Structure formats: structure tokens, C-alpha cells
Amino acid sequence: MLQKKICMLGAFAVGKTSLVSRYVTSMFSEKYLSTVGVKIDKKTLVVGDETVMLMLWDIYGEDSMQKVQMSYLKGASGYLLVADATRRETLDKAASLHERAREVTGDVPFLLVVNKSDLVAQCEIDDAALQPLLNQGWSVLRGSAKTGLGVEEAFSSLTQRMVGG
Amino acid sequence: MAETPRIVLDYLAALVLETRSPAYIRVDGLGGILGWGGDTPAYRLPSLAEGEPVGLVLSAVDGLIPHTGEPIRLPAVELNSGQFVDVHVFGGDDHTWVLLTDATLETMQQAMLQQRLNEVNLIRGWHARAADDQITRSEAGELISELPAFTEEGERLEVSVLQLYFALPQHSGPVLATDDLDPLGRVLRAATEVITHESGYVTSMAQDSLVAMFGVLPTGSSPQIHAIRAARDAVAAVREAGSIGGENGSVAAGISSGFVSVGLVNVAGSRVFVAVGPSLEAAGNLARSADSGTVLVDVATLKVAGDAGAGFKSSGEAYALDLN
């Protein structure tokens, strides 16, 4: 069985833990509990003929007071960048984390999830804001850990690219 | 740096052994366990066995072995047991060493601080957006009362409630180039900034008033002190921000302290912060009866205000501070 490490990267309170929780346990909680350090969850999925064990590294969110230690990304086969659709600044944070992650992981697959996309009325990340990233070749998905929108797709799409499927 | 005396190094080693429960696992180039030692039982890891892949015991080191470069440190890795451990990976003796040191206590302490810090940062962001939103809504005569809140369960808290009443100047002359064309939004932003700086939580905004609570978010001093400081600064900030064509409007503040019940209710699918208690109405009454440029506070606020209460004078059953 293949084993692949995926890191969750993003600003604080964008929903990284909620995305992992939705994907691994199909559960969601409205309660916000900030992550400290890193928690590793596992999930097995089948991609083509391959069974893949995903090691999901849910890393604390970055804020103005603490930067994410990039040592967590050693050995990662890919990473999910997460932004909060209701907070425009989290898109910029995702972009800066991507730059720093690249220095450790090299050219591994990644994908941007614009989480909380169910909050349409409060959306601050419109298509125009995403267009420059799409132009750079980024893969972008709108998703919601709350409703489940795009969650399976995000992880399976990234995994397919990691295993070359 | 001067050489550290042996006695200090010995002390540090003993301290680490006592407080950090160091444990090590020695692995071969393929990640197979060769041996282990130290306080491994402290981490309630799955059974250690020679030849087993170390990744089965500690998934955090999967993909990191063999390791020959600079040591790697993975801080605060959460174990299945709920403990937090710093994981150190380094090479030597043709083997890779995995060292674990307990970080549970400091991580839990950091978690509490981080939670509060993130909540405050989120609320600051919401305040800023609410103030911006008010610009749009004020044109339609709508009020803002639904701000996201950080607490899920109802609580009874001792708070100070600050209410500001303001009126923008009725300016009929030419608008100066320096004037913002939307003074209401400017006023709300200025007041919100001051209140947030004093760890206050803005609970509602309208076209002529703003209500904030102190004691809902963690504060360095008593809520009463923060509320009075915020009121002083807010009166000045609102006056300046609300100026049109060189003319000032009016602004007055009322503060009442006491217990309120706070919590969240669902309204049309959104969580709405709700607070109930006599201090809310009392603060509004004080603000309404205060003259422009005046802060009016109740006895419950002033008696624990310390130095922040300097300058207040008795005014009926309340105390007034004239900032004119």
C-alpha cells in the first residue's frame, strides 16, 4: 500500500481541521477550537488500482504572531492550501505559505480550497480574486467543511496527482 | 559564548530528564526499529519491537528516515493519547535517532492563549467588516445587530456595558476635499477601533448609537477600567471622525456594570450573539441623559474604576466626566 503525506496549510481559523474532520469522519462542528502544533490523521482511499494511505498533517494556522514551521512539510507528497471565503486576507496568506512550502517540498502537487463557500452573502473571495492564481496554473476548488461541498473532491484530486493518476 | 560549566550542564540534563520525559528510538536506514530507551512508557506508544517500521509506532517520522542532514524538530505533535511531544530526528552512528520530549504542558498553555488570540483577531476582523457593511446598510436605514460570536454556550458574566449616542453635524456648507463622504462609516470605524483596542466587544451598531461590552473578551484590568478608558477615547475619536466641514456633531457615553447572560441563538440560520441583563438598558439610559461630550457612569462602574475614575463628579445617582 502506498503511503502519502499531505499537509494542510493556511491562516488561522480557515477550517483546516474541519476539512480533515469532514473528510476522515464525515463530521463537522461549528465550535472553533484552534489547533496548536500538528495532529496527524489517516485515511485510506483507492486511486485507480492503487490503495493509498493518506497521512493528513493538520498544522496550526499561521497568524501575525507565529509562523508555520516548515519542518513539518519534510517528506510531504503534496499539500492543501486553505483559504476562508469570508476573509479576503486568508487568500494572501495561502499564497505566501505556498511560496515558503515550495522551498521545502519542491515541485509537489498542491491544491487551493476556498473553504466556507456556503456563506455566499459574506464571500470576499470572488472569481476575479482567484483568476491570477488560475492563470499561474493553480488548482482551485470552492468547498465547505460544513456542507461537505468539494471536500472529497479536493483530497481525491490531490491524491490522484500525487500518485500520478 | 563562554563555555558552560559542567555543573550547569549536569543540572540542565537532570532538569530535562525530570520534566521532559525524554525517550529515544534508534532505527536503521529502512526505518526498522533497532532499539529504544528512556521514558518510552510515558507516551503510551504502540508496542515497540525490533525490526518493526518506526512509522507504525510514530507516524510523524514517516518519510523522514533515513536521515543524514541537519536535525529535524517537529514541535508539538499530538499523539493518539492526547499528549503533545516534540519529535527530534537526527543522524549518527550510521543510524537515525528519534528523540521524543514531552511538550504537553507548554502546548496546552499555548493552546489557551492561542484560542483567545485567534478569537480576538477574528472579532476584530468582523468589527471592521461590520463597520464597512454599515455604510451600505445605513443608506437603506437598516441596523446591524448580528455579529458573529465566539462562545457556543450561554454564560453569566460580569461586564461593563458602554453605549455611545452620537449625532452627525447638519452641515449645509461646502464639503471640504478632506471630508469623507460617508461620515457614519468613519465614525463607526473610529469607535470600533478604540473599543477593540480596550478589549471591548461591539454587540450592536445603529445610525446613532453603538453598544459594546467589556468582560466578554479577556481583559488585562477590570472591565470597568477598560470601559471608562474606551469611553474617553471613543468620545474624542467620534468627534474627530464625525466632523464635517469643520463642524462637530455631538456624542455622549453611558456605562453600567453588572451581570448579564450571554449566548448564541440561531436566527435564520445564522448564529446571533445575545446578551440579556439590566445593565444594557441602564447604559442606554445613562447615554441618553448625558450631555454631549460627557461620560455618565453608574456607581457599580465607578467604585472599582481605580485611577480611571479620576475626574468623575457626582451627578444625581450617577457620576459624570465632562470632556468638553
pLDDT tens per residue across span B164-176: 998 887 655 554 4
* Residue-level pLDDT at B177: 46
Domain CATH for B82:
3.30.450.20
Q: Which residue has the higher pLDDT, A165 or B46?
A: B46
Mind telling me how many Å the CA of A91 is from chain B's nearest CA?
15
- Nearest residue on chain B to A13, judged by CA atoms? B118
Tens digit of each residue's pLDDT (9 = 90 or more) over A92-108: 999 999 999 999 999 99
Q: Which residue has the higher pLDDT, A102 or B206?
A: A102
Domain span at residue A158 reads 2-162
Q: Which of A11-20, B111-120, B147-156 has the lowest mean pLDDT?
A: B147-156
Q: Which of B30, B78, B152, B271 to mutate to test the interface with A (most CBs of A within 10 A)?
A: B78
Q: Which residue has the higher pLDDT, B122 or A162?
A: A162
In the listed set B40, B69, B102, which residue is the last one of a domain according to the structure? B102
Tens digit of each residue's pLDDT (9 = 90 or more) over A101-153: 999 999 999 999 999 999 998 899 999 999 999 999 999 999 999 999 999 99
Whether the predicted pLDDT of B139 surpasses 50: no
Ramachandran sector of residue A56 (left: φ over 0; alpha: ψ -120 to 50; beta: rest): beta
Whether the predicted pLDDT of B193 surpasses 90: no
Whether the predicted pLDDT of B286 surpasses 90: yes
Mind telling me how many Å the CA of B34 is from chain A's nearest CA?
22
**B1 in any annotated domain:** no
Asked, as a colleague might, if the bond just before B66 is cis with ω within 30 of 0, I would say yes
In the listed set B50, B69, B102, which residue is the last one of a domain according to the structure? B102
Residues B196 and B227 in one domain: yes
* Residue-level pLDDT at B295: 95
- What cell was used for B142? 437598516
Q: How many domains does chain A have?
A: 1
3-state secondary structure of B253: strand
% of residues, chain B, pLDDT over 70: 83
Cβ of B76 and A37 within 8 Å? yes
Whether the predicted pLDDT of B147 surpasses 50: no
Domain CATH for A11:
3.40.50.300
Residues B78 and B113 in one domain: no
Q: What is the mean pLDDT of residues B10-29?
A: 93
Mind telling me how many Å the CA of B57 is from chain A's nearest CA?
13
Q: Which amino acid is at B19?
A: T
* Residue-level pLDDT at B144: 43
* Residue-level pLDDT at B184: 76
Q: In whole angstroms, what is the distance from residue B301 CA to residue B320 CA?
A: 12
- Beta strand B294-297 pairing with B313-315: unpaired
- Nearest residue on chain A to B103, judged by CA atoms? A37
- DSSP annotation of B42 reads G
Q: Read off the pLDDT band of A8 (50, 70, 90).
A: very high
Mind telling me how many Å the CA of A63 is from chain B's nearest CA?
8
Q: What mean pLDDT, rounded, does chain B reach?
A: 82
* Residue-level pLDDT at A65: 76
Residues B98 and B143 in one domain: no
In the listed set B102, B129, B146, which residue is the last one of a domain according to the structure? B102
Cβ of B64 and A65 within 8 Å? no
Mind telling me how many Å the CA of A84 is from chain B's nearest CA?
12
* Residue-level pLDDT at B265: 62
A63 vs B75, B84, B118: nearest CB: B118
B72 vs A32, A34, A74: nearest CB: A74
Q: Which residue has the higher pLDDT, A66 or B274?
A: A66
Helices (H), chain B: 6-19, 54-57, 104-139, 183-197, 223-241, 278-289, 299-302
Residues B249 and B143 in one domain: yes
* Residue-level pLDDT at B245: 65
Residues B211 and B316 in one domain: yes
List CB contacts (< 8 A) between B74 and chain A.
Answer: 38, 69, 71-72
Residues B96 and B117 in one domain: no
Residues B33 and B123 in one domain: no
Q: Read off the pLDDT band of B190 (50, 70, 90).
A: confident
B75 vs A5, A55, A69: nearest CB: A69
Other residues' Cβ atoms within 10 Å of the Cβ of residue B93: 7
Domain span at residue B314 reads 109-322
Q: In whole angstroms, what is the distance from residue B74 CA to residue B68 CA?
A: 16
Environment class of B226 (CB within 10 Å of its CB; exposed 0-12, middle 13-18, buried 19+): buried
Whether the predicted pLDDT of B299 surpasses 70: yes
Q: What is the mean pLDDT of residues B137-147?
A: 47
Q: What is the mean pLDDT of residues B210-229?
A: 87
Residues B296 and B196 in one domain: yes
Residues B137 and B44 in one domain: no
Q: Would you tell me the crossing angle of helices A127-135 and A89-105 to the nearest 10 degrees?
A: 20
Q: Which of B64, B74, B89, B116 to mutate to test the interface with A (most CBs of A within 10 A)?
A: B74
Q: In whole angstroms, what is the distance from residue B203 CA to residue B212 CA?
A: 5
List CB contacts (< 8 A) between B59 and chain A.
Answer: 40, 42, 55
Distance set, CA B179 to CA A150, B183, B207, B232 (Å): 46, 8, 19, 24
* Residue-level pLDDT at B96: 93
Residues B164 and B123 in one domain: yes
* Residue-level pLDDT at B145: 44
* Residue-level pLDDT at B143: 44
List CB contacts (< 8 A) between B120 and chain A.
Answer: none
B60 vs A40, A65, A66: nearest CB: A40
% of residues, chain A, pLDDT over 90: 87
- Contact residues, chain A to chain B, C-beta under 8 Å: 3, 5, 12-13, 30-34, 36-40, 42, 55, 60-61, 63-66, 69, 71-72, 74-76, 87, 89, 122
CB B299 within 8 Å of CB B320: no
Q: Read off the pLDDT band of A89 (50, 70, 90).
A: very high
Which residues neighbour A118 within 8 Å (Cβ) at sequence distance 6 or greater? A144, A146, A147, A149
Mind telling me how many Å the CA of A31 is from chain B's nearest CA?
7
* Residue-level pLDDT at B134: 56
- What cell was used for B92? 549518527
List CB contacts (< 8 A) between B125 and chain A.
Answer: 87, 89
- DSSP annotation of A54 reads E
- DSSP annotation of B207 reads S
Q: Read off the pLDDT band of B150 (50, 70, 90).
A: very low
Q: Which amino acid is at B213?
A: M
B243 CA to centre of own chain:
31
Helices (H), chain A: 16-25, 89-105, 127-135, 151-162
Residues B28 and B122 in one domain: no
- DSSP annotation of B30 reads T
Tens digit of each residue's pLDDT (9 = 90 or more) over B49-77: 999 999 989 999 988 888 888 899 999 99
